[in-house]
Amino acid sequence: MSSSALSHRNTRAFRPEMLKAPRDFFVPEIVHQQNASNLALEIGAGKGKHALGFAPAHPDTHLIAIERTRTKFEAFDKLASKEALPNLTPIHADAIAWSVHALPPASLQHIYLLYPNPEAHNPNQQWLNMPFFEFLLSRLQSGGKITLATNIESYMDNAEQQATILWCLPSMRYKVPQNSARTHFEIKYLARGETCWELVMQKPEGYQTRFDTWQSNKIA
């Protein structure tokens, strides 16, 4: 891989060893399965609308859906328990700490970041501006994808630029169809007549990060 494709190595490095595992931490059994090639992660699952729709529509993919806010997670978990979908695992935790201690390198096929907090007053906390994004890429399989959706055009403009210039990821930007209903936020924004955007990024074959061999000792 050319030096230009490693431009992210000039950024401040994320330090996974500094993070403690979340309270009540556990690693789902699906993560330990050697043939679990179709593993997906949703960060910021909210009340679970996308996850609960995704799982039955993609029976060959196991989705781990993480939500940090207790009230939202409890609503999600209640619905998930009722549906009892075998390929859906809800997780109540901070997504960064959980991902560091639960996910082996190159374990994910797809990552969903649907309508994250736009962090208007703290852009350094936007996903593609964070050093953690490099670690997240190390958990993605070659050819794996990250889907980001937002109704904030400036957020999407920055994400598209960072994907190309900083992270050297091929990407495609789309307008979300007006009849899309993946999340409660998406439904609300489209009903108000707003434009929603989606950026689909792909990890190229041979892509390198500084965390390709790093693994937490919590992963047995």
Cα dist. 57→35, 50, 51, 61, 73 in Å?
20, 11, 10, 9, 21
The domains located in the chain, with CATH, are 36-202 (3.40.50.150)
Encode pLDDT of 3-32 as tens digits: 345 556 667 789 999 999 998 898 998 888
Output the six-digit token pair for 211.
Answer: 């965390």
pLDDT values of the chain reduced to their tens digit, one per residue, 220 residues: 443 455 566 677 899 999 999 988 989 988 887 566 699 999 999 999 999 999 999 999 999 999 999 999 999 999 999 999 999 999 999 999 999 999 999 999 999 999 999 998 999 999 999 999 999 999 999 999 999 999 999 999 999 999 999 999 999 999 999 999 999 999 999 999 999 999 999 999 999 999 999 999 988 6
Output the six-digit token pair for 181.
Answer: 């209903």
pTM for this structure? Answer: 0.94
Alpha-carbon gap, residue 4 to 1, rounded angstroms: 8
**Hey, what amino acid is at 174?**
Y
